[in-house]
Amino acid sequence: MPEIKIITEIAGRICATPVQVGGTVADGDDVVVVEAMKMEIPVPSPASGTITSILVKLDDVVAEGQAIAIVAN
């Protein structure tokens, strides 16, 4: 089962994590929401599968290109 890192394309603060480890996601489902410049930008899953790890928590500050979760399909 290949693992895929979910990467954020924007720097900001994690303001929501609508999924949990062990939960399933479809291609395009929101995994986390990043707040940047007073906007909330969802970070979608690039593939369907099961969330095996969430690498951030609420209020963490993330950088552009940072891995935020891992999905196995």
Query: pTM for the whole thing?
Result: 0.90
Q: What is the pLDDT of residues 62-73, one digit of tens each?
A: 999 999 999 998
Q: What is the pLDDT of residues 27-41, one digit of tens each?
A: 999 999 999 999 999
User: If we measure between CA atoms, which residue out of 2, 15, 54, 49 comes closest to residue 29?
Assistant: 49
Q: Which domain holds residue 46?
A: 3-72
DSSP 23-43: -EE-TT-EEEEEEETTEEEEE
CATH of the domain at 18: 2.40.50.100
Tokens of 26: 């479809």
Please state the domain count of the chain.
1
Task: Please tell me the distance from the alpha carbon of residue 14 to that of residue 49, in angstroms, as a whole number.
Answer: 22
